[in-house]
Amino acid sequence: MELELLLKFFPPSLRDLILAKDISDVMVNADGSVYVDRCGQISRVPEVRINSKDLLMPVQNIAREIGRDLSEREPVLDGRLPDGSRVAAVLLGGELTLTIRKFNRWYTARELVDSGTLPVEVWEILSFAIRSSENILISGGTGSGKSTLAKAVLDEAPVHDRFAVIEKPRELAISQPNAVRWEARDGTPGRPARTVAQLLVAALRHRPDRIVIGEVREAESAYELLQAMNTGHSGTLSTIHADSAQDALHRLSELALAAHSNLSAEFVRAQVARTIHYVVHIERGANGHRRVTECGQVKPGEFCVDPLYLAEERKEETCRL
């Protein structure tokens, strides 16, 4: 079903917010109140109130389009619209909570530099790293702009490279033509799960030059990513939730450790230090502006990020430690 047809089932007031170009997130709470993220600032839309009964059918339509359902038996939905916008819904006790993270458009590296999101010195580092087939880890919080930055970096990779792109849900717009695109999914009755880790293992048999993981969230996917990089698959790029560049290394190692109880922390950290070459951290400030605050190179054989760029507030934090 096309995006335009899917949106016709939404209440007109909500549909207008979803289509607004200056809104990145539309949030409907269980009590019917509606909030939006407009230009980085979250605010309530007091004139709009949505009844869960008016929202259930359009969200169920979205679920069915991706082979899922939303009901009291299957109360959690993590999906996407045809344009790549993320759709997250929870149905509990007849009340529906919905969040749509829109992708109005992707930004080029030059646009990110011009907007102040990406310092030019960081872009020079990342441009060199991606063209040199180094392994890059992008960290940040929810809504910080990790995917936007990842897309801009990937655009710099050679056009003839073969990509294996694994996401949950699918969202990145890969410009290179030779790309294998796979989307992980949760299991449902009668349909087994398709995990990021499973797809990553399968991707290794399809002769990728580069492996892209939309986001490392699960233990098995973190472990398999490390194994892939340790067996000669360079040029990987992935994102991860973390509070700093150094914390990103800790987060990746902790996830991988959780996959196998017989692994030692020292062994996993050594793998991380050996395989991750650059870490870049992006944040969304109090004013809603997204910008890169850290970029560093992992010291060979050391579980430590050597800072190549630090924003002023990060320098102050480092001095206080």
Domains of the chain: 8-101 (3.30.450.90), 109-320 (3.40.50.300)
Contact 163, 153 (CB under 8 A): no
Write out pLDDT tens, residues 52-75.
Answer: 889 999 999 999 988 888 998 889
List the beta strands (DSSP E) in 50-125: 76-80, 86-92, 95-101
**Tens digit of pLDDT at every position of the chain (321 positions):** 688 889 999 999 999 999 998 898 999 999 999 999 987 789 999 999 999 889 999 999 999 988 888 998 889 998 888 888 889 999 999 999 999 998 778 899 999 999 999 999 999 999 999 999 999 999 999 889 999 999 999 999 999 999 999 998 888 989 999 999 999 988 777 778 899 999 999 999 999 999 999 999 999 999 999 999 988 888 999 999 999 999 999 999 999 999 998 999 999 999 999 999 999 999 998 777 899 999 999 988 899 999 999 998 666 555 343
Model pLDDT, residue 4: 84
Q: ∠ at Cα 57 (52, 58), nearest 5°? A: 100
CA dist., res. 237 & res. 15, Å (int) = 34
Contacts 24+ apart (CB under 8 A), 96-100: 96/28, 96/30, 96/52, 96/55, 96/56, 96/59, 97/28, 97/29, 97/30, 98/26, 98/27, 98/28, 98/55, 98/59, 99/25, 99/26, 99/27, 99/28, 100/18, 100/25, 100/26, 100/27
Mean pLDDT (the chain) is 91
Residues of the chain with pLDDT > 90: what percent?
74
Write out pLDDT tens, residues 272-295.
Answer: 999 999 999 999 987 778 999 999
Model pLDDT, residue 287: 78
pTM of the model: 0.86
Report phi then psi at 97, rounded to 5. Answer: -110, 130
User: What pairing do the DSSP bridges indicate for beta strands 23-28 and 33-38?
Assistant: antiparallel
